[in-house]
Structure 1
Amino acid sequence: MSKVTVSAPKPAAGTGVYDHINHAEPSGHGNSPAAWTCVIVMLVGALIASIAFVIANTPIFIVGSAIMVIGLIVGWVMRKAGYGVGGSKLTNSGH
């Protein structure tokens, strides 16, 4: 038996999928009133739908599902109104 260690070949530098991403600009991650409102309304709808599912109540399940859709619509409307990431209502006017 040989005492030579075997190692896996190392990939060449710069061959990854994410090499051309600019990390200098912050991504924001949806931290805006529109995103938070959308998520909170959808969480309430999901809670209602989950409870209705457990107690086997179809009309309340449908109401919870409809609340989740309303949350999406509210978030979209707020984004269009300027409350999304980089929106006109969120810019600092210096006051």
Structure 2
Amino acid sequence: MQYRWGSAWGGQRLLGTENIEVAIINRGRPLRSVVLEIRGRSPNGLPPVRMFQEIEELPRNREVRFELASYEMPDEIEELNLSIVSSTAVE
């Protein structure tokens, strides 16, 4: 799985207060019922952001996007990490 993140409005994040868009590309087997854990770190030393995102389908070699609402984050995000908590492989 590869991912990138940035401003949901495109381009650079200006104020650190806008929604974050995350784009994922699955390079492995197609997956269904995916649960992602998202961890974000702020530059100000506040407790890390931790949230979960469910994705119905994550096909192979296709990009899937979702947004993280700014009101769910206590501060600007400097670093974002994703990991798959659970999923079902599609044959």
In the superposition, the TM-score normalised over structure 2's length comes to: 0.22
Higher helix share: 1
Looking at CA atoms only, which structure, 1 or 2, has the larger radius of gyration?
A: 1
